[in-house]
Amino acid sequence: MKIIDGGITSPKGYTAAGIHVGIKKAKKDLALIYSERPASIAGAFTQNVVRAAPVLWDEKIVQRGNSAHAILINSGNANACTGEKGEADCAQMAALTAKTLGGDIQADQVCVCSTGVIGVPLPMETIEKGITAIVPELAEDADHADDAAHAILTTDTFKKEIAIEVEIAGRPVTISGIAKGSGMIHPDMATMLSFIVTDASISSELLQKMVGYSIADSYNMISVDGDTSTNDTVLVMANGASDTQELTEDSIWFEDFKEAFDAVHLYLAKSIVRDGEGAGKFLEASVMGTASKEDARIIAKSIITSNLVKTAFFGEDANWGRILCAAGYSGVSFDPLKVSLKISSKAGSVTLLTEGTPVSFDEEYALSILKEQEIIISMVLEEGSAQAAAWGCDLSYEYVKINGEYRT
């Protein structure tokens, strides 16, 4: 596989657009991704019991195994906690998009996603005008892909996109994705939207299976602030426009495709953490030597979710006891006297704990390591051979400022 220049329109048969319609004061706030062919659809959604209207709408489409033609996304308003009106508004957005696109497209072939402020009804008159305006803007060029990538953002400071090409039976197949997310990020999905499209031919059933495996080691292993949103959504479309043979798990090219597919999700997940609200440091917690991979996942997530760990890294303080403490309350049983711990960055590495015994270290050297923007926390247990990694960021004064003034 190889990473290529391009955005959400890189795979064949997709067009996109992003415009400003007035939900937000000035920035682009409505995006549309369109597949000329009916596409297989798969998805994953928030684990929050409070689920936004678009989540409920998209879940039904995915569960029915329907084909899909389009994904409509608005930013600036989450359409969450808006009652029956919110659900009706979501259905109207899908119906109007289908009608405006024309042809034989049905409302239940249009997924809808929203992100922004919770508990405020959608400005439907504004959105309806926006839908009629955005459809004529659909195009397959890079500028329109860029517009779509920017239109889904809220507190994000940069767009998140990637395109990867892989060869199937001697022909190129492309997988591309865009995402948004900066705050309300926590394992088991986050306040994030992620849209992946490919011109590979693959069934909705297999695509759904692949999404389940992929998110377990990507979006479900990131945390910015410990809050799981009402709107978290990952949607994947595969339209077969590459005209390659349908992929199955028995295909000799399946593993190559899966590797690229997973790489897209992992890149987007890490990009969300790098753009964590107010974040200055990107943290990786690597946990090795556990009895099972699930144990490693749980411990790694506990470490990167800990506010005390996050604030220690913000303060560039090698307060490693907080890391061990976070592992200890994760719920996984292990022997603390068999734990080794070190931190590293491009400035070097320092061992803090060896088999439960603290190691004397140079505080100034540790500080030089912690001053870097990307830091790896490595924890080794002696309970088995499994391992996993999770990704997070530090917690800063700026995070409080951003979220204290979110609605203003």
Catalytic residues: 191
Burial 180-217 (b: 16+ CB within 10 A, else e): bbbbbbbbbbbbbbbbbbbbbbbebebbbebbeebbbb
